[in-house]
Amino acid sequence: MTTEIRDEHHANEPHSPGLAQRLNWLRAGVLGANDGIVSTAAVIVGVAGGTDELTPVLLSGSAALVGGAVSMALGEYVSVSSQRDTERALIDKEREELADDPEAEFAELVEMYEQKGLTRETATRVATELSAQDALSAHLSVELNIDQDDVVSPWRAAAASAVAFTIGALLPLLTILLLPESVRILGTFLAVLTALAITGYVAAWVGGANRWRAILRTIIGGAAALGATFLVGSLFGAVVG
């Protein structure tokens, strides 16, 4: 009964294993969707501002979707791969130090627990018990805040980013293609800003930030991007026409 109450009380706190993996792909997914919405919408609204024909809008939107999804996946893969390589290098270094001089490493672990506020006696007892279970994990957790079983995956982050970007990009593309010409641009504006409000909320929820501030930030940024490209497209269309 006590365990159930404790688990329920901490249900929303990040104690579960694999947290870094899940937060990493979730973060990549939210950012990918947001970028897909804004970048693709900005392109197609800009083109639609300069012409009433749907073919140029479809071509430019499709190119923005494919190019953006590939770019996001590659960028995420490179970024997370660098993070993973750094974490693995730190794990290997700590493993070597433990093998070369375990006594010095144990003393360092005790000292770090003392710096966290434990007495010398308690710090020694904690370090002893944790080292007996898994010395490497104990050192990685205290010294580097790394879980050797929870190293981020670049493939998962890249896939999440690409899929999310594609889904996000499809929203403005389908909206502008399916709506009647009289409300095409206005409807796309509204659909995009609504979607951005949702991604802003999710991003804030993932990071534990202020929801309303994140929503307002994404809406203002998206509206500015759409307004700027629509203005450019309208001016270009007026000049060419």
Q: Is 121 helix (H, G, I), strand (E, B) or coil?
A: helix
CB-CB contact of 40 with 188 (8 Å) = no
pLDDT tens for each residue of the chain, 241 residues long: 444 444 444 444 444 445 555 666 666 677 788 889 999 999 999 998 888 888 999 999 999 999 999 998 998 899 889 988 888 888 888 889 888 988 988 888 889 888 888 898 998 998 898 888 888 888 888 877 777 766 677 888 788 888 999 999 999 999 998 988 888 889 999 999 999 999 888 878 877 778 899 899 999 999 999 999 999 988 876 555 5
Among positive and negative, which fits the CA dihedral 201, 207, 208, 210?
Answer: negative
User: In which region does residue 57 sit, left (phi positive, over 0), alpha (psi from -120 to 50) or beta (all else)?
Assistant: alpha
CA dihedral 43, 49, 54, 60 (to 10 degrees): -20
The residue with tokens 């690409």 is: 162
134/94 Cα distance (integer angstroms): 13
150/58 Cα distance (integer angstroms): 42
Whole-model pTM above 0.75? no
143/132 Cα distance (integer angstroms): 17
Q: How far is residue 178 from each of residues 34, 80, 181, 222, measured CA to CA in Å?
A: 21, 37, 9, 21
> What's the CA angle centered on 111, arms 105 and 114, to 5 degrees?
150
Query: In this structure, what are the phi and psi dihedrals at residue 185, rounded to the nearest 5 degrees?
Result: -75, -45
What is the model's pLDDT at position 150? 65
